Amino acid sequence: MKYCVGIDLGSTTTKAVILDEDGDILGRGITNSRSNYGVACDVALAEALIDARFGLIARELRSAGLSPEETEEALEEFGRRFREQQYRSQLAVFEEKVRALPDVRGSGNGLGGVVTTMMGTLRDETAELFGPDTTRRSDFFRDLLASRYHPLAESLSRDGGPDFNRLLGLFDKAILQAENVPAVAGDFPRHARAALAALGSPRPELVRATDEAAGIGLESMQSVGTGYGRATLPFPKDRIRSEILCHGLGAHSMFRATRTVLDIGGQDTKAIQVDDHGIVTSFQMNDRCAAGCGRYLGYIADEMNLGVQELGPLAQRSTRTVRINSTCTVFAGAELRERLSLGEKGEDILAGLHRAIILRAMSLLARSGGITEEFTFTGGVARNPAAVEALTGLVEENYGAMRVNISPDSIYTGALGAALFARREWERGSGVPEEVAS
């Protein structure tokens, strides 16, 4: 099966979208961006290929006569078991990297025994971490492991073990190496077999469908990269496109009547005007810093010891919106602490912060030409319900009643646009086979 891929290397996450020969979305993948951009692209693509194979499994299950409800139920449990096996493999690599650190290897200081205790506990907790009723703040390995490792290190230190900061130092050194092994997370056949075994008595249809999907060859015909880090993408220059063009085309593909696009990503905000073909006619970007972008919200979440996805729901509990005059990322923590020291409630501060972020975006929209016809909100911040609420209110206040498009897959808009550009290149005959993915 031939495919084209678009990769969006953002400042916080890297996304990949795969299109099949008919131009339909075959798979999506996402990972956290890291110091090694090539690895981030490889991992995002590996995740998209896994997603594609899950889509192929779903197709085989429906062909076998399973109802949509039965297919969804089978894939939900199988998917959890698959992610559990991925996590176990990554955990094993992490342990290997920790034990290879000079501080641990043959030091005679007792750290080896502490590592053995910690890793045993982390392995024992894995089944619970991927239980059907468990809510996880993130699906990225680094975040999942940190959510368990940090409390465990604190507990051991408090009970007379090594200094907490020393144990955190081990984590910081080893995680950089462990998460840069893309083949571990992307080994579909191995993890699929282990997941089926973990199910105990899987449905015969699921076993057959998984074998069929694993056996289908996936051949990359063309790829295009974009994003905040596009200058560092491991792609030839002729296969890199502006993120403005990709977000405009991606939004138009998702919502054909779109004429205005707002993208709030990790490091920048873009207001884009497109025509009825998805071609950009004008745009504006924040031109100085990441104030009011996803990175700012990340710092606020860290200060409040919350996951980024928890900020929006907490802000929606506000009964009084605090007026915020600055959304400077550099001073995010200091500003938050000052507000709290003045007696302001966390949810009221967050409501004010979300409104301030959207007010900055509204200014960019006005400078780009305003909002005409249908309006589409994309990027990671589009998943934040408080940001969406503030945006829809301000759009109606300034432009009247208007349709605001927000897709559950809005974070992939740039990668989708890049994939569409890749497919156009392939259709023009410039694409050549690049590789056969496992």
Give the closest residue to 119 by CA, choosing from 86, 97, 143: 97
Cα distance between residue 426 and residue 5, in whole Å: 11
Q: Considering only CA atoms, which of 90, 78, 23, 87 is closest in space to residue 53?
A: 78
Q: Indicate the domain borders of the chain.
A: 2-215, 257-406
> Whole-angstrom Cα distance, residue 262 to residue 268?
11
Q: What is the CATH number of domain 257-406?
A: 3.30.420.40
Would you write out the chain's pLDDT as a tens digit for each of its 438 residues? Answer: 999 999 999 888 899 999 998 999 999 999 988 777 888 888 899 999 999 999 999 999 999 999 999 999 999 999 999 999 999 999 999 999 999 998 887 656 678 889 999 999 999 999 999 988 887 777 888 889 998 999 999 999 998 888 999 999 999 999 988 887 766 666 899 999 999 999 989 999 999 999 999 999 999 999 999 987 777 776 777 889 999 999 999 999 999 999 999 998 877 889 999 999 999 999 998 765 656 677 778 888 888 888 788 889 999 999 888 887 666 666 667 778 888 888 888 899 888 888 888 888 899 999 999 997 789 999 888 888 999 999 999 999 999 888 889 998 999 999 999 999 999 999 887 544 444 343
**337 CB burial (10 A radius; 0-12, 13-18, 19+):** exposed
Bridge partners (DSSP) listed for residue 219: 2, 436
Within a 10 A sphere around the Cβ of 128, how many other Cβ atoms? 10
* Residue in 128, 106, 102, 138 with CA at minimum distance from that of residue 309: 138
Cα separation, 283 vs 145, whole angstroms:
40
Strands of the sheet with 218-226, listed across from one edge? 25-32, 13-20, 2-9, 218-226, 435-437
Do residues 221 and 419 touch, judged by C-beta distance below 8 A? no
